[in-house]
Amino acid sequence: MPKVSVIMPVYNGEDYLKESIDCILNQTLDDLELICVDDGSVDNSLAVLNEFAENDSRIQVFHQENKGGGAARNFAITKATGKYLYCMDADDSIKLTALDELYNLAEEKNLDMIIFQAINYVEDTGEYYHIESYDMNEFADYIGDKVFGYKDLGDWMFKINVTPWSKFYNLDFVKRSGAQFAEGLIFHDNQFFWEVLFNANRMYFLRKFLYIRRRHSASSTAAGDQRFVSTITVNNMIIGLFMKYGLWEKYRKKLYNRKIQLTHMRYRMVHDEHKEFFYNELKKDFEKMIGHERYDEFIKYTHPINKKRFFNVIESKDFIEFDLNNRTIDLEAEANKLKKQIKKYKNKNKTIINSTSWKITKPLRAFKRIFK
């Protein structure tokens, strides 16, 4: 049994495969297997994979018709034999000491899952940059150095990035959890993340940047195409999982608002030629809420701005009207955000002015003004 099974779905990744595979094969922990699933690539990805496999017995290569990354990952997990599981993307890279560090930490603390940080790399400019969703600094400050389960988190669970490549899993635990990636959808990692989270009793946050996420236009989650409509189905899947684990009542307010916010965010990312399709599918989904047994509950718990977004979907005659109304709602949301920030700074300023240290140093400040 290898210490770590690394699984890698591959679709038209020939431009980045060598770098991604090299950073796995050259890990300081060499007791590993790399399971690559070519997902119907139409470039030379399969040939690149087979060439690597001929030169390194730790690599297994499988090929399937194009079914999407979720299906490729699910298949790869069935072939994994290691004690731990790591999910690698075929266009990214990971630090050469990463798997060694993660394995030793998981062994030391007997963990189901480790969460760690990632940084973005912009291919066009060669620049690196941080975003909070990959840094997860707020979550790190909250959870500290302790081993935790999801019951320890409350709303903080929504601060964890859902991506599988910023996690390190005990493989037996994953199989026992029954977690599966959604198939035929992008954003398929959401379903897997929440199912794993609700089954994990021993998790740990490692405050280290181990993963380098390559940003380029060919990425499925950056394409802004018709597939983005998957977010509607995925959000409903997430709500279903909260119901499955008896957590709906506790988190329904968060989930109602999150559903509207995420679909709104994805719509803004979609290219103009796909907006009409996205809007029509969103309207079909939102119309199901009208007259639903949970409708009154939905109205009760939805934030006023999100309520406006909801009714904008329902009441607009087409996506053009929807777009125009959205701009007004977004401006109102931004204005409300600025008002809250102003209030926050006013309160902070008031606290400082009323503090003992401020009062004590008043004569000194006056003296400085006179002789400035």
Give the per-residue pLDDT at 140.
97
The pTM (predicted TM-score) of the whole model is: 0.88
3-state SS, residue 5 = strand
Give the span between the Cα atoms of 75 and 84, in whole angstroms.
16
Residue 23: closest CA among 127, 97, 123, 100: 97
Residue 348, Cβ density class (10 Å: 0-12 exposed, 13-18 middle, ≥19 buried): exposed
Beta carbons within 8 Å of 26's beta carbon, 6+ residues apart: 96
pLDDT, tens digit, for every residue of 318-352? Answer: 999 999 998 899 888 787 777 677 766 666 666 66
Give the per-residue pLDDT at 337.
73
Cβ neighbours around 291 below 10 Å, total: 7
**What residue ranges of the chain have pLDDT lower than 70?**
216-223, 339, 343-372
pLDDT, tens digit, for every residue of 205-217? Answer: 999 999 999 986 5
Q: Is-contact 171 82, C-beta < 8 A?
A: yes
Task: Name the residue ranges covered by the structural domains of the chain.
Answer: 4-223, 249-342
Give the span between the Cα atoms of 372 and 365, in whole angstroms.
10
CATH tag for 4-223 (out of 1.10.287.3510, 3.90.226.10, 3.20.20.70, 3.90.550.10): 3.90.550.10
